[in-house]
Each structure stands twice: as C-alpha cells, then as structure tokens.
Amino acid sequence: MTGPSSGSLNIVVGVTGGIAAYKVVSVLRTLVLSGHDVHVVATDAALRFVGKPTLEAISRNVVNTDLYEGVSQVRHVAIGQAADLILVAPATANTIAKLAAGIADDLLGNTLLASRAPVLIAPAMHTEMWHNPATVANVALLRSRGVRFIGPISGQLTGDDSGPGRLAEPDDIVAAVLALIEVTSAERAAAAAVPVADAVPAAAAQDLAGRRVLVTAGGTREALDPVRFLGNRSSGRQGVAIAEAAHVRGAAVTLIGANLEVPVASGITVISVVSATELASAVSAAAPHADLIVMAAAVADYRPETIADRKIKKDTAGDRLTLNLVKNPDILMALGQNRGQNQLIVGFAAETEADDDALVQLARGKIRRKGCDLLVVNRVGWSTGFSTVDNAVLVINPAGDIVMEAAGSKLSLAHRILDLTV
C-alpha cells in the first residue's frame, strides 16, 4: 500500500447490486476528475444494474469482476493490497453482512479482506432491511472495527416507499472519501512523528490529552409508528467534526450519535441512539465520566404521546390526523443543573431568526435558561446550517458576551470551538 500523502491515490470502488449503482457513476467521475486513480471492483449483481463499459469509460481503468481472472497476477489480493482507500457504494445488506463475517466468495470480498486500507461504506437498501437486527448488528460490528459509513439517508426508495435506506448523495460520498483521506493522512503524519523522542505530532497539538470529552451529534427521530418518525435535517456533521477534532488533539472521546449521516473516524467511542429519550439515557450514563460535554445534537423538543404499533392507515385516520405530542426532557438543562465538578458544558442553538440583534438576544436568553458555559449559535434554514460542509457560528458566554464569531468548514470551526475550552 502506498501512503496517501501524495495527490493521486489508488481508490478502489466496490460496486454491488443495487439500483443505486447508477448513481455511483457520478462518484467515480468526480474522483477521477479530482486526480485519483480509480479501480472498480463490481459484483455480478452490480453489472445487472450498470454496464461494465460505462464503469470502465468513467473510471478510465479496467473493471474487475471475476475472482478467476488474472490469477497469475494474484489479483484476488493484489487489488486490495494496492488500495489507499476502499469505497463500497452502493453497499447492499448482503455485502455488508458478508464483510462483517469476513466472507470472500467473490473478488470484492477478497479485495476487502486482503486490504489494510481505510474502508468507507455507502449503504443502500429498503428501510426494513436497514432496520433489520441483522443489518444493525453487522453495521455496529463493522463500525467497531473502524469501518466508516456514509448514509443511508432518508428519502424516496426504489418503489413507492420512502424512509432511511436511500444512498447518500454522490457529492456527499465524494466529500466523505476526501475527508477520510484527510483524516488518514493526519493519522499517518502523527504516527510518523512519534518515533522521534519528545516529538509532538505535526498533525495537531495534544492540548486535550487527558481530557474526557463527550459529544452528542445528529438529529433525533421520534417514532409515530413502525415506519414513520418526526425528525429534523441535522446530519451530525458539526458534532462529528468536534468529536474528531478533540480526538486528534489527544482527548478520549465518546460520541453519542443520533442517526448520523456522516462517517466517524476510528478511535472515537460511538454510541448510537435514535430518539431523544434514548439520547437522554445515554448522556446521563456517560456525563459523569466527562470533563467536557458538547451538546451539538438537534434534539426533538416533543415526541408523539403514543407510538402506533402498526402503520397508521389513511383509510382509518380519515382526512385529518391529529398527533398529540408530549415534551421531551431538556437534556442540556438537566446537565447544567447537575453539573459535575470542573465540568465544562457547551450547548448549541440552531435558530431561524434572520435579524442579527434578535439572534443574539435569543441566545442570551437561552444560555441563561440552559445554564451552560458556552452556547454556539448558528442560523439554520431551508438551505443553511444543516447538512452543509461549511458553517457560520457565534459563541456566547454566560455574561451574554460574544466570545467568538467565525465561519468556515465545520472541522475548522470545531477546532475554534475547542480552543475556547482549553
């Protein structure tokens, strides 16, 4: 394997048999145009959805599918060994299961098993398959081994149904690949710096070494029935960036992720939750062990009073459906009221207020009510704040002063926010 510090990387893209395979063509194209050497390993099922000539023309390389081709070049292991990074997109439930079990009955399975490269998986499947306990367990197992995931997102699926299971948007997959390249390059640079006595890794100052950091990220989902939920558009990007920045700076990081749509770097302990109630329990269990708590998750303020055990049907509900909602616990406020010794608590406020002064007034009221040490305020709207790569924030202290105002990538803002806590 060659180090990914050079501009052009050897990226292997495993394409498996889902209808979303056609979308991966644009991922290949962008990676090639970004200067990378892209090698597609397609399963037989993938080629039923997208033609080999298309994949070869766009990737500008021969597409490998057959385990028994190129045997003299030991291709079943050579492709994986040469890879700097492996992306599997779309990844079916079947491929995820095989990868979790280490099954290598095709070229892609062999490639993955024979590689030490970081792996990013972009799942695509029907919601029932994504929620199936087998898939949930396989994903958790792979995550625990350091495999990263991007998506799936919620949206229209192949049939009339919609829900979680849709392939992440091609641009987001490319962004996740590029982010993973950045993370692994930084990890390698840090590792390379270690042998020199007293060397401080070049990648980041270790100013959070010894600190235990708890971060919440993502958006909670409040179930209405077995297939529907009330949710929000938070992808978890900003919270994940904070967790990764803290990790790179030497902290022991626990990330409580609510329905994250972005991959998480290895070395961070990830606890996955779905609803606000689950988030509240996970936070109350983890908070006593944290010196710094960053509550970046977008938590639903209300949840349905009852969850229907069967799908709510319009023929029985009629023309008008009334939902009764009950208030969720305010986790941040509870943390502020039961603060541990020397514990620092950072809250977030996502507001749609357009006027700057009114936004600051809102934030001042909120930090007083919530009792946190810093409040990071960002404006959100139909196209701002959530899911975007960049962000703009201001940070307020309990006296109501603006202690920081900054814009930039979510990772750069993560570092700026952490700077205020050291």
Q: What is the bridge-based pairing of β-strands 222-223 and 229-230?
A: antiparallel
Q: In whole angstroms, how close is the CB of 41 to ligand C5P at the nearest point?
A: 41
Q: Which residue, 168 or 293, has its beta carbon nearer to ligand C5P?
A: 293
Q: In whole angstroms, how close is the CB of 349 to ligand C5P at the nearest point?
A: 5
Q: Which of 64, 110, 232, 328 is catalytic?
A: 232
Could you say whether residue 276 binds ligand C5P (CB under 6 A)?
A: yes
Distances (CA, A) of 159 to 155, 230, 416: 11, 22, 44
Q: In whole angstroms, how close is the CB of 364 to ligand C5P at the nearest point?
A: 13
User: Which residues neighbour 265 within 8 Å (Cβ) at sequence distance 6 or greater?
Assistant: 148, 183, 187, 244, 247
Among 21, 100, 297, 418, binds ligand C5P (CB under 6 A): 297
Residue 380: count other Cβ atoms within 10 Å of its Cβ: 19
CB burial class (10 A; 0-12, 13-18, 19+) of residue 177?
buried
Q: Is the peptide bond before 133 cis (omega within 30 degrees of 0)?
A: no
> Taking the chain, what is the end-to-end CA distance rounded to the nearest angstrom?
37
Q: Which residue, 123 or 257, has its beta carbon nearer to ligand C5P?
A: 257
Region near ligand C5P per CB under 6 A, out of 6-14, 86-94, 249-257, 293-301: 293-301
Binding mask 213-242 for ligand C5P (x = CB under 6 A): ---x--------------------------
What is the dihedral angle through the alpha carbons of 169, 24, 40, 123, rounded to the nearest 10 degrees?
50
Binding mask 326-365 for ligand C5P (x = CB under 6 A): --x-xxx--------------xxx----------------
Q: In whole angstroms, how close is the CB of 356 to ligand C5P at the nearest point?
A: 18
Nearest alpha carbon to residue 251 among 415, 407, 119: 415
**Residues forming beta bridges with residue 149, ordered by sequence position:** 121
* SS3 state of residue 190: helix
Supply 383's token pair: 């196209």
Q: In whole angstroms, how close is the CB of 233 to ligand C5P at the nearest point?
A: 14
* Cα gap 40→60, rounded to integer Å: 10
Could you say whether residue 147 binds ligand C5P (CB under 6 A)?
A: no
Q: Which residue, 123 or 347, has its beta carbon nearer to ligand C5P?
A: 347
Among 31, 265, 295, 377, binds ligand C5P (CB under 6 A): 295
Supply 127's token pair: 């919601």
Are 214 and 286 in contact by the 8 Å Cβ rule? The answer is yes
Q: Which residue, 153 or 295, has its beta carbon nearer to ligand C5P?
A: 295
Region near ligand C5P per CB under 6 A, out of 113-121, 133-141, 185-193, 325-333: 325-333
Is 110 labeled as catalytic in the residue annotation? no
Is the C-alpha dihedral spanning 414, 268, 211, 275 positive or negative? positive
Could you say whether residue 286 binds ligand C5P (CB under 6 A)?
A: no
Q: In whole angstroms, how close is the CB of 332 to ligand C5P at the nearest point?
A: 3
Restricting to residues 188-217, which ones interact with ligand C5P according to CB under 6 A?
Answer: 216
Which sequence positions are flagged as catalytic?
232
| Residues at the site binding ligand C5P, with contacts judged by CB under 6 A | 216, 276, 295, 297, 299, 301, 328, 330-332, 347-349
